[in-house]
Amino acid sequence: MERSQIIDIKQFNTFYDINYHSIDRLIQFGQIKHIKKNTLIIEEKQKNENIFFLLQGIAYNYCLFENDSKRILNIENQGHFLNEDAIYQEYASSNIKVLKNSTILVIPISIIKELIHDNFLFSQKIQSSLASKYIENQNFLKFNPYQNSQARLTIYLCYLAHKLGIPYQDDIEIPFDFSVVFLSQLIGAKRETTSRILNQLIDQDFIYYHQKHLVIKNLNLFNRLKSIAFRDTFLKL
């Protein structure tokens, strides 16, 4: 990898504090790869050899179950590691696929361990990232059994808007191609149910499509809808 490319990654907060020795090690061993949309880059239970850092694009982690159902664990955008848990695990704990054309920095685990040893702040950022993903997953697991499909969908769309959203006119666009199948896997609902809820939200003027991307028209109002759906779910318990 060229030094100019390393200078670019120092723009990301994760690598901002690494020292010059670590930069030289990344130049020597890091590889930049351009990945096409919907490409599987890590398969569950494969041997961990590298850590993947997302320079550009969007990717998601998921697990597959015996009945071929898919459980989406989290979604990451640029500037984040995709599998930092590989530092501590011999085999991949989940699958990782890109949602759009993406650029990834591939770093050998041994080099990441060197960076952790030589850069205290970098070590802290790795631990913080792992903790954030764990808390995020636990929050969704904690509430999902008690929520109806509409509550889950509105909660996840708000989550995606806050985490990945970009301005579009006066609204918030979630910048990747949505399919009913993907949303169904995200919320753990049947495709027919997800499609019906989406159409209701469109008819109620909360969301619309722009070039296959979902756009939330009024995020504050949508957050209120999420709260109402969440409240109504618990009133029925």
Residue 115 CA to residue 106 CA, distance in Å, equals: 14
Length of the chain: 237
Among 101, 216, 126, residue whose Cα is nearest residue 167: 216
Residue 68 CA to residue 181 CA, distance in Å, equals: 13
Residue 9 CA to residue 23 CA, distance in Å, equals: 10
Element (H, E) at 230: helix 219-235
Among 63, 59, 71, residue whose Cα is nearest residue 43: 63
Model pTM score:
0.83
Conformational region of residue 161, where left means phi above 0, alpha means psi within -120 to 50, and beta covers everything else = alpha
Among 232, 216, 1, 215, residue whose Cα is nearest residue 108: 1
Domains, the chain: 3-142 (2.60.120.10), 147-235 (1.10.10.10)
Would you write out the chain's pLDDT as a tens digit for each of its 237 residues? 655 555 577 788 888 888 878 888 887 899 999 999 999 999 999 999 999 999 999 999 988 877 667 778 888 999 999 999 999 999 998 999 999 999 999 999 999 999 998 888 889 989 998 888 888 777 666 656 556 788 788 888 888 888 888 999 888 899 888 888 888 888 878 889 999 999 998 998 889 999 889 998 876 666 666 565 554 443 343
